[in-house]
């Protein structure tokens, strides 16, 4: 079946022969799927850093903030921060009132068709660790994540540091991690608690269609174990135990695993081991690494030598990530759980475009770090947009009823080719931002179901089995 539909007053013109440069053709791409079986292309934010130390564990992010994000950037995904200290405030007691608050926010996303990944966040282990304040400068909590009752520094010092990352190598913090991973042999119960906390979360969201994934641990740190000893050892072990705990109550949500942060965020290959999914049917393990090229953080932004070095990092990072997803995890879909930068740096827009191009080619979802107000985020504290809003607001297919063979999007053109799966009855959905879209819509091999001006979604459906090609160009 071939359909060509005229929308927005334009003419469905003959196809020009613009090359769709960099279309994704790698055979190894795979995608998270929704309940209807559609491949999901996920674009959104981490929400939010402000939840890390909030007493109620909630981000400083209202439903009105989501309405604005949705209208101005067309996101369909969020990596929503949760924490072990909030889930399990006392050993074995799971805070249902906290999960109610999370569920309420998940409801905001559900109403707008989003998918949610819950991220068990930590930085520097726990908010219960205080820097020594001998100088009287009022050093407060330095990290977030684990509950106080699961924090054992064994009296080792944590001295005040100028950079937050340096707290990771303070003796008291190292010991807290060594106790968590039971490298000390003294706390075999902590990883068990962690896995069971995940079971409590999964129990709550097992029947929730909006929550599609659980990101097991943010930016893992092995304390005195590093790289292979850590990743192939207790980290893989924790992931397997958490996966098993989740599967005892939730068969269908995706389980996301990440490598150690240090080094791998910057492109070094991970040595994570295989995590097996005990569910019946296809494996639903996804790989959710972060991307933070070191040169970008050194002040120069994405220009000059820093750009050259960042480009090299990007190549090694991608090869390393795809190797683990394909060879270790057996063709797992990829979500870039975090990447982000100060949007006022030179070349920031180019770097953003670069990462989203890379993600498209990898078939990867993206959650940008983060939606918090400021120069890294989409809005300043006074509500003024940064360049992020305009840069992220691009056309993309959101849910594809079959295999997304290739797609590309520029300000003046969206192209999608997919191979329909006749077992999927739900339509394919394509988000088209303002600026003249949809203009001309040309569909080969399928019919347009509708164009919804409100949600800015174009939906197409195919009853045939041949490849479908959708081309949209905005009205001039």
Kindly tell me which of 243 and 265 has the beta carbon lying closer to ligand MNI. Answer: 265
Any bridge partners for residue 379, and if so which? 385
Alpha-carbon dihedral of residues 393, 395, 396, 399, nearest 10 degrees? 100
List the strands of the sheet with 402-410, edge to edge: 3-6, 440-444, 468-473, 413-420, 402-410
Min dist. Cβ of residue 81 to ligand MNI (A)? 9
d(CA 370, CA 33): 24
Under the binding rule (CB under 6 A), the answer on residue 165 touching ligand MNI is yes
Kindly tell me which of 219 and 250 has the beta carbon lying closer to ligand MNI. Answer: 219
Exposure class string for 108-146: b at 16+ Cβ within 10 A, else e: bbbebebbbbbbbbbbbbbbbbebeeeeeeebeebbbbb
Residue 72 is encoded by which pair of tokens?
């101005």
Min dist. Cβ of residue 372 to ligand MNI (A)? 10
Min dist. Cβ of residue 411 to ligand MNI (A)? 29
Under the binding rule (CB under 6 A), the answer on residue 292 touching ligand MNI is yes
Q: Number of residues in contact with ligand MNI, rule: CB under 6 A?
A: 11
Taking CB under 6 A as the criterion, the residue among 72, 338, 415, 442 binding ligand MNI is 338
Min dist. Cβ of residue 299 to ligand MNI (A)? 15
Under the binding rule (CB under 6 A), the answer on residue 322 touching ligand MNI is no
Under the binding rule (CB under 6 A), the answer on residue 168 touching ligand MNI is yes
Kindly tell me which of 81 and 430 has the beta carbon lying closer to ligand MNI. Answer: 81
Min dist. Cβ of residue 293 to ligand MNI (A)? 11
Binders of ligand MNI among residues 437 to 456 (CB under 6 A) are none
Kindly tell me which of 219 and 440 has the beta carbon lying closer to ligand MNI. Answer: 219
Secondary element (H or E) of residue 167: none
Which residue has 């022969």 as its token pair?
17
Cβ proximity of 102 and 118 under 8 Å: yes
Residue span 194-223 as binding mask against ligand MNI, x where in contact by CB under 6 A, dash where not = ------------------------xx-x--
Cβ proximity of 207 and 249 under 8 Å: no
Min dist. Cβ of residue 405 to ligand MNI (A)? 33
Residue 234 to residues 196, 220, 273, 284, Cα–Cα distance (Å): 16, 11, 10, 21
User: Residue 267: left if φ>0, alpha if ψ -120 to 50, beta else—which one?
Assistant: left
Min dist. Cβ of residue 171 to ligand MNI (A)? 14
Kindly tell me which of 123 and 358 has the beta carbon lying closer to ligand MNI. Answer: 123
Min dist. Cβ of residue 454 to ligand MNI (A)? 34
Taking CB under 6 A as the criterion, the residue among 54, 130, 249, 262 binding ligand MNI is 262
Under the binding rule (CB under 6 A), the answer on residue 261 touching ligand MNI is yes
346 Cβ partners below 8 Å, 6+ apart? 300, 301, 302, 303
Kindly tell me which of 293 and 438 has the beta carbon lying closer to ligand MNI. Answer: 293
Nearest CA among 43, 110, 112, 33 for reference residue 404? 33
Under the binding rule (CB under 6 A), the answer on residue 371 touching ligand MNI is no
Cβ proximity of 109 and 210 under 8 Å: yes
Residue 15 to residues 27, 123, 362, 396, 443, Cα–Cα distance (Å): 26, 50, 26, 19, 11
Kindly tell me which of 338 and 440 has the beta carbon lying closer to ligand MNI. Answer: 338
Kindly tell me which of 120 and 261 has the beta carbon lying closer to ligand MNI. Answer: 261
Kindly tell me which of 321 and 414 has the beta carbon lying closer to ligand MNI. Answer: 321
Min dist. Cβ of residue 235 to ligand MNI (A)? 13
What does the binding site for ligand MNI look like in residue numbers (CB under 6 A)? 123, 165, 168, 218-219, 221, 261-262, 292, 338, 369
């Amino acid at each position: 079946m071939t359909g060509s539909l005229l929308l927005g007053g334009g003419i469905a013109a003959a196809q020009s022969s613009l090359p769709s440069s960099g279309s994704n053709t790698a055979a190894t791409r795979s995608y998270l799927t929704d309940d209807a079986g559609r491949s999901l292309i996920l674009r959104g934010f981490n929400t939010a850093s402000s939840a890390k130390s909030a007493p109620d564990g909630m981000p400083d992010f209202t439903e009105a903030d989501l309405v604005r994000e949705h209208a101005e950037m067309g996101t369909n995904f969020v990596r929503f921060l949760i924490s072990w200290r909030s889930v399990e405030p006392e050993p074995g007691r799971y805070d249902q009132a906290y999960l109610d608050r999370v569920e309420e926010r998940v409801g905001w996303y559900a109403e707008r068709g989003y998918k949610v990944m819950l991220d068990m966040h930590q930085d520097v282990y726990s908010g219960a660790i205080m820097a020594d304040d001998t100088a009287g400068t009022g050093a407060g909590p330095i990290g977030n994540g684990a509950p106080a009752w699961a924090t054992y520094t064994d009296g080792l010092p944590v001295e005040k540091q100028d950079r937050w990352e340096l707290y990771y190598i303070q003796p008291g913090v190292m010991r807290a991690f060594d106790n968590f991973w039971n490298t000390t042999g003294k706390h075999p119960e902590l990883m068990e608690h962690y896995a069971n906390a995940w079971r409590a979360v999964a129990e709550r969201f097992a029947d929730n269609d909006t929550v599609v994934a659980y990101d097991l641990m943010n930016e893992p740190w092995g304390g005195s174990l590093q790289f292979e000893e850590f990743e192939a050892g207790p980290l893989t072990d924790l992931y397997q135990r958490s996966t098993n705990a989740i599967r005892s109550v939730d068969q269908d949500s995706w389980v996301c695993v990440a490598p150690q942060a240090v080094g791998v965020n910057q492109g070094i290959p991970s040595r994570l081991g295989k995590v097996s999914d005990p569910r019946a049917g296809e494996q639903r393990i996804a790989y959710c690494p972060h991307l933070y090229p070191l040169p970008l953080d050194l002040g120069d932004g994405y220009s000059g030598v820093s750009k050259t070095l960042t480009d090299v990092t990007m190549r090694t990072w991608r090869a390393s990530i795809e190797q683990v997803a394909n060879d270790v995890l057996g063709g797992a879909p990829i979500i870039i759980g975090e990447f982000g930068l100060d949007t006022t740096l030179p070349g920031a827009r180019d770097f953003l475009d670069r990462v989203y191009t890379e993600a498209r080619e990898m078939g990867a979802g993206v959650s940008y770090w983060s939606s918090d107000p400021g120069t890294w985020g989409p809005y300043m504290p006074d509500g003024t947009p940064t360049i992020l809003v305009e840069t992220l607001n691009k056309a993309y297919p959101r849910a594809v009823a079959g295999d997304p063979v290739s797609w590309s999007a520029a300000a003046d053109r969206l192209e999608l080719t997919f191979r329909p799966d006749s077992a999927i009855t739900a339509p394919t959905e394509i988000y088209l931002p303002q600026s003249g879209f949809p203009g001309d819509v040309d569909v080969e091999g399928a019919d347009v179901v509708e164009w919804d001006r409100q949600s800015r979604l174009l939906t197409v459906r195919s009853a045939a089995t041949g490849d479908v090609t959708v081309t949209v160009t905005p009205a001039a």
